[in-house]
Amino acid sequence: MNITNSVKYIGVNDHQVDLFEGQYVVENGMAYNSYLILDEKVAVTDTVDGNFLAQWFENLEHALEGRSPDYLIVHHMEPDHSAGIAAFAKKYPQAQIVASAKAFVMMKNFFGDDFADRRLVVGEGDTLSLGAHTLTFVTAPMVHWPEVVLSYEQSEKLLFSADAFGKFGALDVEEDWACEARRYYIGIVGKYGAQVQALLKKAAGLDIAKILPLHGPILEENLSYYIGLYDTWSSYRPEDEGVLIAYTSVYGNTKKAALMLAEMLKEAGCPKVAVADLARDDMAEAVEDAFRYSKLVLATTTYNGDVFPFMRTFIDHLTERNYQKRTVAFIENGSWAPVATKVMKGMLEKSKELTYAESTVKILSAVSEENISELKALANELVS
């Protein structure tokens, strides 16, 4: 695939993977993106996952058309992008390896070699001339690893963005960008909002025509849309007005309350209502919706003097990713000594700028008429 006359796509699609990073369901696979810049000097940007090196080398050889690469530029050292570095270095002994200082430390850890005799260390503002093309390097520590650099090609206004602006899904499958990019961002990068904000400030000073990420499609139209979503996500602002009800239920009574509340919210005019069964639904989807919507209802049972395990896991996912700037409400259930609300509030105590709903719902085993009234009051408060 030609991105421009001089820049070619040489990445691969992975439809073998079932869990990306061992935890994220990827029904439509993954893309591991790699690019080739042909100029007086030839540069390859990043490699791919180790399971696809043969295909990648075939793509590379075809695109080179008999030439040899002068540089391998390493933007990010996660193995799904760096697995081919040692094999590339062996196949092309004349090529220099270009990366940040921290990336070379990681290469030593991964491959037992930091390529001291052929490395080119780059940092903020450093440039690499290929002829008509010049790359300027932009450091992006903790987006989402410490060694990350991006590069900006000046003549064609291309931003090689590492894992920023990536998404789940292979490139040979058509799907909405925002849904899987949101789940990717929140799950993988979401903890590092401050670092993404710092990167966006740097990017604002660049005239960008195309964004070339390491996962997902090349972005080249309406870039303000993608950058705007990244600004929203990384500043932890709600993307949409709406409510996520996340619940766990042992014998169905807490589930009943959660579904009743969902109907009440819809009847009261709530613009968007999502419901997640934390024991059965994809946890990453539930976490995505918690960050997407402005309000969250946590509904669970008291369990062993604590909360049901799936709820604890869910809240841990939220707090790990700096959940903040939302309204949170609670529904607790307990046949005796219910403490679920107290436990959940304690788990959220370090989260910033949370507003707690005044209406409370305490179920004692089964949903009562009093509980129905409490649910109605909660629904009205959440849509007011």
Do residues 329 and 344 make contact, with C-beta atoms less than 8 angstroms apart? no
Q: Are strands 361-363 and 327-333 parallel, antiparallel or unpaired?
A: parallel
Residues 57 and 175: their CA atoms lie apart, in Å, by 28
Indicate if 70 and 109 belong to the same structural domain.
yes
Indicate if 244 and 228 belong to the same structural domain.
no
pLDDT of residue 69: 98
Order across the sheet with 210-212: list the strands: 127-129, 134-139, 149-153, 158-160, 210-212
Q: Are strands 71-73 and 96-99 parallel, antiparallel or unpaired?
A: parallel
Indicate if 227 and 245 belong to the same structural domain.
no
**Which H or E element spans position 291?**
helix 283-292
Would you say residue 1 lies in a domain?
no
In this prediction the pTM is 0.93
Indicate if 219 and 118 belong to the same structural domain.
yes
Would you say residue 204 lies in a domain?
yes
Residues 144 and 159: their CA atoms lie apart, in Å, by 17
Residues 136 and 194: their CA atoms lie apart, in Å, by 23
pLDDT of residue 368: 97
3-state SS class at 190:
helix
Indicate if 59 and 177 belong to the same structural domain.
yes
Indicate if 144 and 263 belong to the same structural domain.
no
Do residues 221 and 236 make contact, with C-beta atoms less than 8 angstroms apart? no
Q: What is the pLDDT of residues 75-92, one digit of tens each?
A: 999 999 999 999 999 999
- Give just the sign of the alpha carbon dihedral 288, 294, 299, 305: positive
Would you say residue 352 lies in a domain?
yes
Would you say residue 266 lies in a domain?
yes
Residue at which a domain ends, from 198, 216, 234: 234
Q: What is the pLDDT of residues 217-253, one digit of tens each?
A: 999 999 999 999 999 999 999 999 999 999 999 999 9
Would you say residue 63 lies in a domain?
yes
State the residue range of the domain holding 182. Answer: 7-234
Indicate if 180 and 135 belong to the same structural domain.
yes
Residue at which a domain ends, from 234, 268, 287: 234
Indicate if 193 and 76 belong to the same structural domain.
yes
Would you say residue 354 lies in a domain?
yes
- The total number of structural domains in the chain stands at 2
pLDDT of residue 337: 87
How many angstroms separate the Cα of 240 from the Cα of each of 85, 128, 137, 244?
42, 42, 34, 11
Take residue 70 and report the two structure tokens written for it. 């002068």
Residue at which a domain ends, from 234, 251, 272: 234
Take residue 276 and report the two structure tokens written for it. 């997640």
CATH number of the CATH domain containing 318? 3.40.50.360
Take residue 208 and report the two structure tokens written for it. 């960008």
Beta bridge mates, 293: 240
- 141 Cα distance to chain centroid: 16
Indicate if 224 and 247 belong to the same structural domain.
no
Residues 352 and 332: their CA atoms lie apart, in Å, by 23
Indicate if 198 and 75 belong to the same structural domain.
yes
Would you say residue 218 lies in a domain?
yes
Residues 292 and 36: their CA atoms lie apart, in Å, by 36
- Give just the sign of the alpha carbon dihedral 110, 11, 138, 96: positive
Residues 118 and 90: their CA atoms lie apart, in Å, by 12
Would you say residue 275 lies in a domain?
yes
Take residue 5 and report the two structure tokens written for it. 């006359």
Burial (0-12, 13-18, 19+ Cβ within 10 Å), 154? middle
Residues 65 and 207: their CA atoms lie apart, in Å, by 31
Output Rg (C-alpha) for the chain, integer angstroms: 24
Indicate if 208 and 328 belong to the same structural domain.
no
Residues of the chain with pLDDT under 50: none
CATH number of the CATH domain containing 20? 3.60.15.10
Residues 338 and 346: their CA atoms lie apart, in Å, by 14
How many angstroms separate the Cα of 75 from the Cα of each of 83, 139, 152, 220?
13, 9, 12, 20
3-state SS class at 71:
strand
- Residue at token pair 């290929």: 130
Indicate if 121 and 215 belong to the same structural domain.
yes
3-state SS class at 340:
helix
